[in-house]
Structure 1
Amino acid sequence: MKCWHFFLFFYLNLDVLVLEKNIQYFVVEEGGNPSTDYFVLPYLHKNKIQFERVSFGQIPSKEKIKGATILFVRYVPPAWKAVIEKYRSSISTIYLFMDDDLLSWRAFNGMPLRYQAKLLRYSWFNQQWLRSIGAKLLVSTPWLQQKYTEWEPILLKAQPINFEVDEPQTVFYHGSASHYKDLCWLYPIIEESLKRNQNMIFEVIGDKRVNKLFRSLPRVQVLYPMKWPAYRSLIRRPGRHIGLAPLLDTPFNRARSHTKFFDITQAGAVGIYTEGSVYATVVRHEENGLLLPMEPEVWVEAILRLAEDQGLRQRMLEEARQCL
C-alpha cells in the first residue's frame, strides 16, 4: 500500500483545522494585508508549517508546485487559476480564506462599482470553479461558518500581530507637487534603504501620482497634501527620525530657500541635505545635519548610518535646535 501524506490535526475552539505537515505552502495574496497577518500566518507559524508568501504574478515552477498546498487569501487571480487547472493532479490541497462575505453578490452590492468589479472577478465568479477542484474554505467568523455550512468551512480565529520590540525608524520627505522630480530621484534610494533596514518606514506627502510611484514598496506611508496649519500640527507629533531634502539642479529649485531645515528640525529629526545648495547657509556637515552630493549610493549609506546610530542623531538634533 502506498504511503500517503501524514496529516497534522490541531484543534480550534469551534472546529478542526487540517494542515499537511512538511508540505510547502504557497500563501497567495494581492500584497501584504491584515487578512493574512491576523488569521492565516499565526496558525502556520504555530504549527511550524513551511510556507512562502507570493503575489498574484509570482508563479512557482512545476517542480515547486508539485505536492504543495495553495492557500488563496480572499482572491483567486487568473494566472494562478490557469496554473492550478494545468497541474491540479499534482497539487495537494487548495484553500480559500475569506474574512468578508466574498461569495455573495448581495453582500457587497451597493459598494463602489470598482470594488464590486474586483470582488466579482477575483472571488464571486470563482466559487463554482473552487467547488469543481475540491477546494476547502477557511473563514474568519462563526457567521460565515454558519452561512457556508455546505462547504464544511474551517474557522480561523484572529490573533494579534507580534510587532517588533524596537521602535521603527521613520524617514520622511515632505514636499509639494513641485517636488515630483526630486521624489523620482529619491525612489531607488528609498527602495534600497527599506530593503536593507527592515525596521525602517518611509513617510511622504503626495497626491495620486506620488502614491502610484511608491505603492510597490513596503512600509511606505503616503499622506495627502494638507493646509499649512494642519502640517504644522503634523510635524509637532513625535515619531520622525530622519528628514530628506534633496535638490536637483533645476531652474525652479535654484530659487528655493532653506526652510526645509526648520521643518525637519521641528519634527524632531536630523536632516540630510544637498551639498552645494542653499542648505549650506545653515547646515554644518556632521554637526547639525549632513550635506551630501546628489549621489544615490551616498544617500543610502547616510540614511542607514543615521538609522542605526541614535546617539549621533541626538547630538546633531540638539545642534540643529540651537539654530532655531
Structure 2
Amino acid sequence: MSWFFSPRQAAVKSPLRKILVVSPGRGPAITIAYELSFSILQAHGFAWDFRLEGELDAGDLTGCALLVLYRCRQARTVAFLRLARKKGIPVLYELDDDLLAPPPDESWGELYQKEFCRYIMETLLAEADLVKAGSPELAKRLEERGFSAFYQPYAAPLLPLPAREREEASLFRVGYFGTPHHRKDIEAIFPALLRIDELFRGRVQFEFIGCYPEGWAKLKRAVIHPCIHDYAGFLRKLAALNWTVGLAPLRPTPFNEAKSDSKFRDYTAAGITGVYADLPPYRQAVRPGINGWLAGNHPTQWVEKISEALRDPKRGEKLAAAREQARGINSPETVAVAWRGIYENFQSKVRKNEILSS
C-alpha cells in the first residue's frame, strides 16, 4: 500500500506541506523510519515523496518544505543539499547505523571505509540543519564528532495479538530473524542453542528467517523460513509463527553498540517476548524480568536466559508490559507527533530567515 499522495489528492488538499525523503535505496527501513508515521501526517495537511539518491533532479525540490536525507553518500547530494538551503528549505540528515565507523570484518562496510565516501558523509552531516540518529548511543557519538544530533524512537505498529494455538506436547518455538549480514551474531550464540536443545530434549523447535547459523542442521528440530522484504508482510508472518521466544543476539562490537532497538520493536509488535543482547541498543528498552530478558556475551548466559524465558509462566505479562511501553513510545501516532514538532520548529526558523545557504 502506498502512502504517497496522488496529484488529484494533492489538488484537493492543497496547499500541502511536502516532505521529500532521499535515500540510496528503498526497503523496509524507509517504511519504518518514515512511511508509518508520515501516513498519519497525511490527515493533517502533509504529503511526502521519495527519491533515490542516484536519480535526483533540481525539480524535485519544487514545493518541498523539508528535505530528509537518509544514509546518503553521493557527491551529487551535497550539491542538492546546498540548493535546498539556498531556497530556504531546511535539511535533516539521518543515520541509523554508525557508518562513519563501519565494521572492519564485514564486506559491505568496505564502501564506507573509503576516504571519499567518509568525506561526503561528513560534509552532509556538517551542512545539514539537524542530524537524526537511530539510537541514543549513535546520537552521543555524532555529538562528540561535532555534529548537532538528536535521537528519536522509530515507529512500530502493534498487531492485534493472534489467538494462540495450544502448543503440541509442550513444544516451544524459539526464533530468530535477520539479514545475512547478522550471521556472525547468531553464530556467536549457536553453542547456547545446542545446549538448550539438550536441556529440553527435543521439545524446542528453532526457527530462522533470513539468517541462520551454519550448523543449524545439528538441531533436532529446525525450520528455515524465507526472508520477507515487505515490512507489513514480514510482521504478519512473524506474528503468525507463534514463537514462544524471540532472540536478539549482538556481538559486543563498537558498531553493534550504536545500533537501534529494532528487534525489541518488531518482536513486541508481533506479539513475541524476547531475549536480547545486554548491550546499549536494548538496555534502554528492556527492563529485565519485566518486559523481556537481557543476556550477556557468553553462550552460558544465553542458555540461562532462554531457559528462564521458556519456563516462565508469566511470559504473557512481560509481553503485555513490552506492548504497553511500545504503545506509548513507538506508536506511529506518537512518532508522527514528534515529526510534526520537528517540521514546525524548522518552519519557525524559516520564518526568521535562520535557514540560509552555507
* TM-score (norm: length of structure 2): 0.42
The one of the two structures with greater contact order (alpha-carbon pairs below 8 A, sep at least 6) is 2
Structure with greater Cα Rg: 1
Q: Which has the higher helix share?
A: 2
